[in-house]
Amino acid sequence: MVIVSVIGILIVLAIFGLITGFWCYYKTKNKNFDKYPQDTLEEDDFFDGLSSMPARFTYSALARATKDFSTKIREGGFGSVYLGLLEDDTQLAVKKLEGVGQGAKEFKAEVSIIGSIHHDHLVKLKGFCAEGPHRLLVYEYMARGSLDKWIFKNSENTLLLTWETRYNIAIGTAKGLAYLHEECEVRIIHCDIKPQNVLLDDNFMAKVSDYGLAKLMSREQSHVFTTLRGTRGYLAPEWITNYAISEKSDVFSYGMLLLEIIGGRKNYNQWEGLEKAHFPSYV
């Protein structure tokens, strides 16, 4: 009787030990899902259900391509942009979103919308990374950088752009913006048109960037109310007065940009006199 009892106790202990061992193994193997369980699983389902998505990169691959994010190109919306180089010598611009909470939500918006957009005057999204807490976007590399480095008198580049080049940049930017407003399945309001968000390739062809985080509106809607987003000097009056925002707000910002391209001076300069500090007052 005693022997039977001992055997029974040993069996119970053995079963308990096996259950404990499997539980510890599962927790160790899935530690990332414990920290970001619902978010990660929902995003995987979200990405699998999308059509025409760009390439999906692992975080380690992008870390190698950017040499551990050592060369920062510029600061962008919701994160910094780094120079990357693939094994086939293809150059990329890798945008590393900062902040898992808000970044994850905006990341979904960028990938789902930008992945299906193709236009000569919009910076192309070539890939993305959604691995654990990491959220990265991979864009085509624009060799000449942003427009602000080329049109202002105190810019770092000494090359003076010809009027033909300036004209082509203005027209190209307008075409990209018009596509976002009128030709996308989901109408996109950029909300932050400025020289820093117009990028140039080797031939000074202009492409609008940073539009994935813009506010969206369906074709059935004529306007949308939203929180303030933009840059001082380029904001349309309705931003300040809390009126409805529409694509006309982008057109106002484009007008400020156009004056900068023509005039070679910044739209807003606090060091100028009161009348010359802001283009609308100066004009």
Residues classed as catalytic = 192
- Distance, CA of 11 to CA of 5 (rounded, Å): 10
C-alpha distances in Å from residue 7, one per residue of 2, 12, 19, 21, 51: 9, 9, 18, 21, 59
Q: Which burial class, exposed, middle or buried, applies to 61 when counting CB atoms under 10 A from its CB (0-12, 13-18, 19+)?
A: middle
Q: Which burial class, exposed, middle or buried, applies to 182 when counting CB atoms under 10 A from its CB (0-12, 13-18, 19+)?
A: exposed
Return the sign of the alpha-carbon dihedral for residues 244, 250, 254, 256.
Answer: positive
| Residue for token pair 């910044």 | 266
Task: Give Cα 148 distance to the centre of its chain.
Answer: 19
> Could you give the count of Cα atoms lying within 13 Å of 97 in the half-sphere of its Cβ?
28
| Residue for token pair 């004209």 | 167
DSSP class per residue in 89-136: --EEEEEEE--HHHHHHHHHHHHHHHTT---TTBPPEEEEEEETTEEE
DSSP class per residue in 231-251: -TTT--HHHHHTPPB-HHHHH
